[in-house]
Amino acid sequence: MSRADQAEREAVLRPPSIDRMANWPSLQPLIDRAGRALVVEALRDWAAAKRGSADVIDQDACLRWCEAKLAHLVEPSQRRVFNLTGTVLHTNLGRALLAEEAIQAAVEAMRSPTTLEYDVTSGRRGERDHHIAPWLTRLTGAEAATAVNNNAAAVLLALSALAAGKEVIVSRGELIEIGGAFRIPDIMTHAGCRLIEVGTTNRTHLSDYAAAISPETAAIMKVHPSNYAVTGFAKAVPASELASLAHARGLPVIEDLGSGTLVDLETWGLPHEPTAREAIAAGVDLVTFSGDKLLGGPQAGLIVGRRNLVDRIVRNPMKRAMRLDKLRLAALEATLRLYADPARLVERLPTVRALARPTSEIRALAERLLPALARAVGADTHVAVEPVRSQIGSGALPVDLLPSFALALRSGKLDRLAQAFRGLPVPVIGRMRDGALYFDLRTLDDEQGFVDQLERLDVVAH
Ligand SMILES: *Cc1c(COP(=O)(O)O)cnc(C)c1O
């Protein structure tokens, strides 16, 4: 019997122990990367799968098996992607990209103890809101401010703190659902409030609100319709009129601004989107909005308004369950500080940069990329530079689309093509529409990184 035959016989009769296998030289680099415990786990599966077979001692096959088994554990599950969907603030792709200043601030806060809730002057306990509240009041004109985990939490907390057990009046045209099961009527229920609907889907008048006010009313609420628009024969009551009515009856107005911006987008030639300052100036008593939508910061729910109302919110026990950690507070403070110099926002804040990016620049980028992309996809895919319209996303300006340019890919195997792009080291996510795969280049910042990985595109394998 040859030596190889003998080894095979022995492998079947007496397979090597898991410990012996874990010492195989071919496995050592994987053990360095993944740790011994995970590799031993994979080896057990291998030994079980190959029980009774001589293959069990095939070290190369074993290594490939273990690598495949552990791939999803060795690599981070949340990976970087190219968002070329045409939606700038894409909720599923993580919304706003942070400014370098915010990234640095978060990194510093991660590395060291900080003054999160500590006052170095007095040596006493400090308030975590003090890092951001002065910025929020300065930027919105409100008396007081606080922040929680996200805008959904801000709305829930505001309603719970100010209106639990009582009635809140909302127009039927504003009883919205936004993605991820956030529905205003459900939030009301969970906050312990009774929703009083007024008006109709398309038209609500001031008199509708006035007629609904009762001794049980705790607040009037206004909600930014976000991801849909009522056009045509439509009427909503402006915040200033609602505020006059509410204040005359001793009630507050709460407004969920949704995306909520701190600067007028018209500065960059974009359609108007209500700012938090405008809402406060109109007399709204409490405004909530998101940190990671148009504001361009980390996920957060910002609450600004009258001091007595903000105080009630801060004192509510639910606030503690929704508070921000030091990383996000650091990033949020750094983001808000950028707004002190609006003229430089375009260069410093990625969200504003993407929204304000000139169409001519996007077109030039598309034309530069066209040859490399056409080479990568091969002759049976047609590639062209085409005008498209990008969306802001996350509920801002649902109908106003920004003129942009895309690389449009057309072929008989579009699904496989899209899959091949998603299979790249940095997955490229486009948008399928009208029988084409579009890569909207408004949000492509890393041109070289995109080009460099094109040679690894494997359309055939998909
Ligand atoms: C986006 C949005 C929310 C939820 O905000 P998150 O920060 O995602 O929790 C609530 N209301 C409106 C109107 C929105 O547009």
Give the list of residues 6+ apart from residue 161 with CB closer than 8 angstroms, or none.
312, 313, 315, 316, 318, 319
Q: How far is the CA of 291 from the centre of ligand 1 (A)?
A: 10
Q: Which CATH number fits domain 82-92+354-461: 3.90.1150.180, 1.10.3720.10, 3.40.605.10, 2.40.50.140?
A: 3.90.1150.180
Q: CB of 226 closer than 6 A to ligand 1?
A: yes
Q: CB of 149 closer than 6 A to ligand 1?
A: no
| Averaged pLDDT score across all residues of the chain | 93
Which position has the higher pLDDT, 437 or 175?
437
Residues 421-434, mean pLDDT to the nearest whole number: 96
Bridge partners for 382 per DSSP: 410
Q: CB of 152 closer than 6 A to ligand 1?
A: yes
CATH 3.90.1150.180 maps onto the chain at: 82-92+354-461
The pLDDT tens digits for 354-399 are 999 999 999 999 999 999 999 999 999 999 999 999 988 876 665 6
Q: CB of 290 closer than 6 A to ligand 1?
A: yes
Among 157, 183, 257, 290, the mutation site with the greatest number of ligand 1 atoms within 8 A of its Cβ is 290
pTM of structure: 0.92
| Residue 178 pLDDT level (bands cut at 50, 70, 90) | confident
Residues 112-135, mean pLDDT to the nearest whole number: 97
Q: What are phi and psi of 271, to 5 degrees?
A: -65, 155
Q: CB of 411 closer than 6 A to ligand 1?
A: no
Q: How far is the CA of 358 from the centre of ligand 1 (A)?
A: 28
Closest residue by Cα to atom 12, ligand 1, is 258
Q: CB of 298 closer than 6 A to ligand 1?
A: no
Closest to 179 in 3D by CA, of 234, 258, 279:
258
Other Cβ atoms closer than 10 A to 133: 21
The rounded distance, in Å, linking the Cα atoms of 191 and 321 is 14
Closest residue by Cα to atom 6, ligand 1, is 151
Q: Cβ distance 229 to 400 under 8 Å?
A: no
Residues 316-340, mean pLDDT to the nearest whole number: 97
CATH 3.40.640.10 maps onto the chain at: 100-348
Residues 1-20, mean pLDDT to the nearest whole number: 84
Q: Look at residue 462 and tell me whether its pLDDT is greater than 60.
A: no
Q: Look at residue 180 and tell me whether its pLDDT is greater than 80.
A: no
Q: Look at residue 450 and tell me whether its pLDDT is greater than 60.
A: yes
Question: The domain 100-348: what is its CATH number?
Answer: 3.40.640.10
What is the pLDDT, as a whole number, of residue 265? Answer: 87
Rounded to the nearest 5 degrees, what angle is found at the Cα of 458, between the Cα atoms of 457 and 462?
Answer: 130
The pLDDT tens digits for 219-262 are 999 999 876 777 788 888 999 999 999 999 999 999 999 988 99
Give the list of residues 6+ apart from residue 182 with CB closer than 8 angstroms, or none.
152
Q: CB of 150 closer than 6 A to ligand 1?
A: yes
The rounded distance, in Å, linking the Cα atoms of 413 and 6 is 50
Residue type, 144: A
The pLDDT tens digits for 158-171 are 999 999 999 999 99
The pLDDT tens digits for 393-425 are 876 665 668 999 999 999 999 999 999 999 999
